[in-house]
Structure 1
């Protein structure tokens, strides 16, 4: 079976567990194929954790979940050196923490203090963890999927800009439509019924091998990107830094522009989006499709924008409207 067929099977399998969130599923796959980390934001009960666990269940990969709390320590995430008394004398051995998995769910990441959040920075960027001066490599397939609640701010620690920039995309989850919510009720009822018959569950889970992910990544890396599209990506990101040349509204609304990581993310996510849609080249429409997810956590809004009730979604829409297509 081809890599494309494997990924389509994975998407279909996740879709059987998640109703009405097809765009979220597609963004999870883009993050997986683009070899990046995702920040998923939504109100409680909108299937953030369920979507991530569904993807992990259908991959031949190790999965770990870290429930972030105010009393968590960095060593609870990364692991630590543990004292052992052996025949040849005492020795310290590294005991890996839950970060040493293929898919790591950082649940409610903004509930942990800055020290714990900073423990993720090296892992997310360099795919390694340094403990007591020794670096330990993480698995080749490694992805942090962090969730946070956008409204409950008491007892939370906002993510610093440096950490936000290391997330490839910030994905928003909204309420499902009424028809989808009816399907959710039926789905959960059927799962409760199936749980009473474990023999039926044994054969229902498909598993996609890690090699299919690596094969898909090789195909995505080989996609053709024309020079005008590269120029469009650079101009789109540059517009966040120098908005005055394009629009007086953008100049008033944007205080902090996106870093070069945004350009790299638009290229990587755009190519993954094009590949998932059956194209062997990057189209400007692919860039526009992933731009909100790539830019919404990398643009700093001014006090004027906040006072006018303008959010990042409106700013990004304006950017896409004023930056000329190639």
Structure 2
């Protein structure tokens, strides 16, 4: 797909989603970046700020299969992946596919299910397949999980394990809308939900072509070296107990390629890496108890401050251009 066609299709999706989500352009662009990069998205925030609305709007804007899983304490792993059922007429077991068999899977309030049910997604998210009773079933590409979760301080939540957080390409927060957007919401949602008026603007085949084009965006060796230096710095930082994994390095490059394509470029800049470092890395990092004890600034989360400090202290290789 030519870069001009990709740019036009991407902005058509953004405009479509923004008819539902008011005043959250950065969140919408990051969500689309993750989708085009073939990753999974975690949306974390307090209830009622539009997490599920964003997930539904993004899924509706693309003409492909969509399923939703409402995670609850009594949800079973088989509800997610599927289960083998005995067919008495044919005297054999048949596999009944679970909700995970879709192109876009919306996992609503994922941290309200038990850890056992949460872990049912691990194989799906990383290997794009499901194994039940020793039989492996591939998931149809593209496959993206868009999960929402409430902050861990909320009642009835279970913390996602590090292994599962690491499988999400990026984590974003919605935040409260500004005054104008909240007033506009009162008018637009007074009678019906704006989702009922939303329709697909990109076909499934076009989405697949966009994802292929993103993978061919050029990332120079210098950009890759810069990315590795940033990620490795998180593993050696005095304020972090757990740094970013090699998977994080790979996903940061993939996300940067998608962002470059959204900007109409066929090459990655250091600015793409810097701007995506917080959403791609922050949910993978665990600060030390000492750092938490010395953090008294409520203006920014501690992990985001550490990532910003690492970016500022990591030199950009000579000859790499910045955003013009």
> What TM-score does the superposition give when structure 1 sets the normalisation length?
0.90
Question: Is the contact between residue 70 and residue 111 of structure 1 (CA under 8 Å) also seen in structure 2?
Answer: yes
User: In the alignment, which of 26, 31, 43 is matched to residue 28 of structure 1?
Assistant: 31
How many residues end up aligned between the 2 structures?
309
1:60 pairs with one of 58, 63, 76 = 63
Residues 197-216 of structure 1: matches in 2 within 5 Å?
Answer: 201=197, 205-216=199-210
TM-superposed CA distance for 1:189, in Å, is: 2.8
| Equivalent position of 1:301 in the other structure | 287
Map Cα deviations across residues 25-83 of structure 1 (whole Å, 9 max, x no partner): 11110111000111110111110000111111121111111111111111011110111
Task: Provide the aligned C-alpha RMSD in A.
Answer: 1.8
Asked if the contact 1:3–1:213 (Cα under 8 Å) also holds between the matched residues in 2, the reply is no
Match of 2:234 in 1: 240
Does the 8 Å CA contact 1:60/1:210 hold for their aligned counterparts?
A: yes
Listed as ranges, the gaps of 5+ residues in structure 1 are: 244-250
CA displacement at 1:6 relative to structure 2: 1.8
Structure 1 CA distance, aligned partners of 2:209 and 2:175?
Answer: 32
| Preserved contact between residue 274 and residue 286 of structure 1 (Cα < 8 Å) | yes
How much has 1:300 moved relative to structure 2? 1.1
1:120-199 superposed matches below 5 A: 120-189=121-190, 191=192
- The higher radius of gyration belongs to 1
- Runs (4+) of structure 1 moved beyond 6 Å? none
TM-score by length of 2: 0.91
Question: Following the alignment from structure 1 to structure 2, what is the Cα–Cα distance between the partners of residues 218 and 77?
Answer: 28
In 2, distance between residues paired with 1:164 and 1:12? 29
Corresponding residue of 1:247 = none
Shift of the alpha carbon at 1:154? 3.1
Deviates most, 219-228 or 97-106:
219-228
Gaps (5+ residues) in structure 2?
296-300, 318-324
Is contact 2:21–2:53 with CA below 8 Å preserved after alignment?
yes
Q: Does 1:277 align with 2:278?
A: no
Matched with 1:259 is 245
